[in-house]
Amino acid sequence: MFWIKKGIPQCEVHPIFGSLTFLQKINPGTWMASVYNQYSHPYVGIWVFWRPGLIVNCPNLAHNILVRDSDNFRNRLLSTDTRDKLGTHNIFTANDPLWSAIRKRLTSVFTTAKVKNWQDLYRSKSADLVFRIKSDNKKGVKINLKGIFADYTTDIIGESAFGIKCEATKTGSGALRAMTKEFEKYSTYRGIQWCFIFFFPELADFLGFTFWPKHTNAYAVKLFRMIVKQRGGYEKETEGKKDLLDVLLKMKQNAIKDNQNVDEMVLISNAMIFLQGGYETSSTLLCYMIYEMAYKPPYQQRVYEELKEVKNKIGDKELGASDLSELPFFNAIIKEALRKYPIMGWLDRTSSREYQVDEHLTIPAGTVVYVNSNGMHQDPNIFPDPMEFKPERFLPENMQTFIPYAYLPFGDGPRSCIGKLFGMFSMRFGFAAIISNFILEPFPNAPAPNDVTVERRGLFYGPGEVLSVKFVPRTEPLF
């Protein structure tokens, strides 16, 4: 009755699960889009078990919550007052004041200059990707897109963030890849754990559920300590800030100087979330993007022609990050993939204080708010023919009429994705390498892009089935 008394439309409510009866049946991002379509209202009331929640369907309100009034929406529903320090003491899950301290320290890792310094690594791993595809083609292997791109993105993160030599792109295996493969295992039990962690953290803590599987946690701690030991231990001063691990070590050293304590679990937690967040998002987007391209030969050719112009311009020079950043249609493809396939279909925040949403509604402190990014991405009034893959909408001349804050693939405001640039460059180099070397074709009887199922047990918006395409070698490869 809470929302009804306020005159707010409310989703159907179960006496125990509240509005969350869809969990484990359909993906939360899919459900968000259905709520958006069902209720023509700027916001909709829901119940997160026994806690009131609000789904925001309006770009203007999204701006207010994520940016203008972000000081009141710094925190997520996930709690840091938990036994699972490894799962909750990182930049994604932590709340203030821990979150602010972590964000301040990690920002230096993800500047444009720092990310561009890893260009040699991007080039090397994208070359390994081409080598692996050619090798698998010769063996007659039907390539699992999500799997091979997860190999690729895991390698990039392993070498750039932790200084570990990784060969998963070539071989399909490795120490870090073994860990990311554990992240990919969706079971009903694991799905239930994640549901409670994200939507009922108090019960998850009581039941001893952990953000990552316990055996994965043990493996991560062992691996992290081994790498730190190889670098001389926690006390050895780092020379500059070369990678994420250097920054994490420096964070602990500076805290000691200030008579403060940074728990080792905070360092390992942030290393793990960067590994999962970095590999999962980029590999999933590359998977969807390449699958779409197999059904769009004219788009493939247009991207190839753009890359060919770059090749003619730079000659024998190596392909650079700046070269790829300047290609309008190439980047429009990536932006459209981010619109149609947002990795998480919502952005959650919790109101720290009583908050006036508009002249009609004031919500109490503690209300969890979900910005419905997937709903807005699929709104035909914002993006005409939203289920069609149309990169032309993201060409510079067409973006002048965009509604601000209706497109939120990386969130916005202080809690936007800190690794956005890192992920974009990983996708750009991988995408460029594939289109430069292969023509993509669909397999007979494969599902069309709009018929691909979405993983229902997980929270990320990933494919619920193995996706594959034919990689036909080009007669005139570019890079």
Distance CA(374)–CA(30), nearest Å, equals 8
Sorted by sequence, the CB contacts under 8 Å of residue 357 that are 6+ apart come out as 43, 54, 61, 64, 363
pTM: 0.94
Sorted by sequence, the CB contacts under 8 Å of residue 92 that are 6+ apart come out as 273, 277
- How far does Cα 4 stand from its chain's mean position? 35
| φ and ψ of 131, to 5 deg | -60, -45
| Neighbouring C-beta atoms of residue 12, cutoff 10 Å | 9
Strand partners, 51: 48
| Averages of pLDDT over each 10 residues, the chain, 479 residues | 89 93 93 95 95 97 98 87 85 91 85 86 97 97 97 94 90 89 83 90 90 89 90 76 80 74 87 90 97 98 98 92 96 98 94 95 96 98 97 94 94 94 96 99 98 91 96 96
Residue count (the chain): 479
Q: What is the pLDDT of residue 424?
A: 96
Q: Is 195 annotated as a binding residue?
A: no
Tokens for 231?
């670098």
HEC profile of the chain:
CHHHHCCCCECCCECCCECCCCCCCCCHHHHHHHHHHHCCCCEEEEEECCEEEEEECCHHHHHHHHHHCHHHCCECCCCCCCCCHHHHCCCCCCCCCHHHHHHHHHHHHHCHHHHHCCHHHHHHHHHHHHHHHHHHHHHCCCCCHHHHHHHHHHHHHHHHHHCCCCCHHHHCCCHHHHHHHHHCCCCHHHHHHHHHHHHCHHHHHHHCCCCCCHHHHHHHHHHHHHHHHHCCCCCCCCCCCCCHHHHHHHHHHHHHHCCCCCCHHHHHHHHHHHHHHHHHHHHHHHHHHHHHHHCCHHHHHHHHHHHHHHHHHHCCCCCCHHHHHCCHHHHHHHHHHHHHCCCCCCEEEECCCCEEEECCEEECCCCEEEECHHHHHCCCCCCCCCCCCCHHHHCHHHHHHCCCCCCCCCCCCCCCCCCHHHHHHHHHHHHHHHHHHEEEEECCCCCCHHHCCECCCCCCCCECCCCCEEEEECCCCCC
Cα-only R_g, the chain = 22
| Neighbouring C-beta atoms of residue 203, cutoff 10 Å | 12
Residue among 239, 237, 269, 271 at smallest CA distance from 161:
271
The amino acid that residue 392 corresponds to is: E
Q: What is the pLDDT of residue 240?
A: 59
The amino acid that residue 418 corresponds to is: I
Distance CA(379)–CA(72), nearest Å, equals 28
Tokens for 12?
């159907």
Angle formed at CA 262 by CA 260 and CA 268, multiple of 5 degrees: 175
